Amino acid sequence: QLPLYRVFEQSPMEYKDAEAGYMVHFAYVDSRGTSSLPLVVEGVEYYLQYDGRVLLVTLEDDSHSFTLDQPGFTAFLDSLVVGGK
């Protein structure tokens, strides 16, 4: 269980040849941060269904770096090949 977990956005999505997709944008407070202050973690999860299985792809980072890391994560997500398709 994550303390102070909040969902900002969640919605169905289309992704390449996935049968179904779902996106969740969230944040939570990690009190185990390396400094004396808690760390706010922001993330996005993509649930992609292929042939009855679900592939979960997640990006989590501190809230200050999250936006900066999104272009690289999006490029990674776009490069995924599932089942040789």
Residue 4, CA atoms < 13 Å, CB-side half-sphere: 10
Q: Residue 34 has what pLDDT?
A: 64
Beta bridge mates, 62: 41
**Letter for the amino acid at 8?**
F
Q: Residue 47 has what pLDDT?
A: 97
C-alpha 12/C-alpha 10 separation (Å) is 7
Average pLDDT over residues 47-61: 93
- Which pTM was predicted? 0.83
Q: Residue 35 has what pLDDT?
A: 66
pLDDT per residue over 2-52, tens digit each? Answer: 668 899 999 999 988 889 999 999 999 887 766 677 788 999 999 999 988
Element (H, E) at 15: none
Q: Residue 85 has what pLDDT?
A: 53
